[in-house]
Structure 1
Amino acid sequence: MFIAAKYEEIHPMKLSVVYEKIAHKKLTTDQIKKKESDILQTIGFDLVGGTLFDILLEKNYKYLKKLCLYLSKMVLFDYEICGKYNYTLLAAALIFVAFKIVEQLDTTFNADSQIKDVAQIIQVDQDQLVEVAAKILNLAKNFEKHFPNLENLKKFNGFQLEDDEQ
């Protein structure tokens, strides 16, 4: 009650009220403060529970992170792509491709607006971004054909989009 009142109320209750009316004087004020500290440490001071929106964003973020990492490892094997473009443009193009893949998996995810924001923040030309993203996507689609002996990328990266728990 003491923690909830501090978090939810405009004027939280005083420790003396918790001591007298909630704990009925069976706990000392020091014990109440210690319990409060223990509870907060146990929950990592995370008083806000996740919403469905947070869970969906977290899932998409995990997909994006996995996709970007996997695609970046692929790009490092292709000297033509890796050596021709600067890393800022490559990073933006990797994010572009990852956004488009996540958009196919989750129709509520709007990749186009996200891509425009990324291009603007990173300050890359939209046309050049699309061109490099197309090359990266082509590489990803044909990676096994171009690099048939590189099984370790797939094997040790453990790439899969599904949650490990499912």
Structure 2
Amino acid sequence: ALSNKFGEMLLTTGNKSEVAVGYATIYGDMAGGYNPVKDLYKTRVFESCRWRNANHRPWMKGPAGEVIPPRVIDKPPTAELRANQKDEDSLPPYPVLDAILERLIEGDASVAAIVAEGFDRETVKKVERLLYLSEYKRFQSAPGTRLTRHAFWLDRRYPIVNRWRDPT
């Protein structure tokens, strides 16, 4: 309603980690016309926020100084669908999740190759499963800033019904 009233585009907020594993909600935080953080993993979003708070350049339109409260950056991530819920209740910690996703998505690595690097096999298989199960959501997502060679949308798409999985 506000977008229509003021003629502004509604931005979506799902980062690459959330979009990858289905933690971005269709018609919820995915509802909008453009997603500026679509190709940034959650850990990189936090790094970017910390960088922005510590750095300002004359060409930046925003004010100098801290513009993102540290409590927002440091708060444990949650989908806020129930009391005391945290993303880590059902996902690996974001540094681990992002490391696995980077290998699966950017590196096109197999489960076996990721496990050989020291990651827990069940965790890698779970993340891979969530990645493929969430493809249907990505088909409906808003376009966003492309920062990697394997951005979701045109660069990395899989059929949503073929059930292909890495057998190892």
TM-score clears 0.5: no
What is the TM-score when the length of structure 2 is the normalising length? 0.31
What is the TM-score when the length of structure 1 is the normalising length? 0.31
Bigger Rg over Cα = 1
